[in-house]
A and B are shown apart, each in its own frame.
Chain A
Amino acid sequence: EVQLVESGGGLVQPGESLRLSCAASGFTFSTYSMNWVRQAPGKGLEWLSYINYGSAAIYYADSVKGRFTISRDNAKNSLYLQMNSLRDDDTAVYYCARDHRSSWYIFDYWGQGTLVTVSS
């Protein structure tokens, strides 16, 4: 069974940093591209970042480019999101999501999400 489990969320102040993790199991992690997607409270979904299976291709949404860094450790079956210079509008539930085999950016499995709250 495919499982994605996020961790690392919490309450931080504006300007601070946070690192999210996503532990994958039930599939061959090293052969799948992965993504981070977030959802602000009561709002819709926003794709944030993509990393291919070998970390050779990495993309970001404009809203987080230069502040967030995606990475992965295939030996540990883990995906990460380093978030710097956090702002109030980064408050959201952050999901990791696996790419479907047939195309980039089709998210066929999602974690349960981890809540990040940015507030002074």
Chain B
Amino acid sequence: ETVLTQSPGTLSLSPGERATLSCRASQSVSSNLAWYQQKPGQAPRLLIYGASNRATGIPDRFSGSGSGTDFILTISRLEPEDFAVYYCQQYGSSSVFGPGTKVDIK
């Protein structure tokens, strides 16, 4: 089974700054990689699928890149509502989530 590793575990930034989150797979997942955002007490929300495709209604400050084993989620300028936990997920023949990166306010 593919294992996903996310780094850093916590990212402390200020509003307006750029956030770069990493997700690494233990074996190639091609482009079968999605990103979700979860705020406290809420369900996850799909941000990115296919490594780089924004889901419906997702602002263009969110972008995804990568293929194979190394993926990046970039938030170009953090808005107050972006402080949350972000999970990457491998999909296709099965579903595996990474442990998450918490983006908190510096």
Partner of B92, one of A35, A45, A105: A105
Mask for A71-102, Cβ within 8 A of B = 1, else 0? 00000000000000000000000010000101
* Number of chain B residues whose Cβ lies closer than 8 Å to a Cβ of chain A: 25
Instruction: Give the total number of A-B pairs whose CB atoms are below 8 A apart.
Output: 58
Partner of A44, one of B55, B87, B95: B87
Mask for B25-50, Cβ within 8 A of A = 1, else 0? 00000001010101000111110011
A113–B98 CB distance below 8 A: no
Q: Which residue of A lies closest to B48 (CB)?
A: A106
B54 to chain A, nearest CB (A): 12
Cβ of A112 under 8 Å from chain B: yes
* Number of chain A residues whose Cβ lies closer than 8 Å to a Cβ of chain B: 21
Mask for B81-106, Cβ within 8 A of A = 1, else 0? 00000010101111111111000000
Q: Which residues of A contact B (CB under 8 A)?
A: 35, 44-47, 50, 59, 95, 100, 102-113
Chain A residues within 8 Å of B94, by CB: 47, 59, 105
Q: List 6 A-B contacts (CB under 8 A).
A: A44-B100, A46-B97, A105-B92, A106-B91, A107-B44, A111-B43
B49–A102 CB distance below 8 A: yes
B97–A47 CB distance below 8 A: yes
B55–A108 CB distance below 8 A: yes
A111 CA / B94 CA spacing, docked (Å) = 21
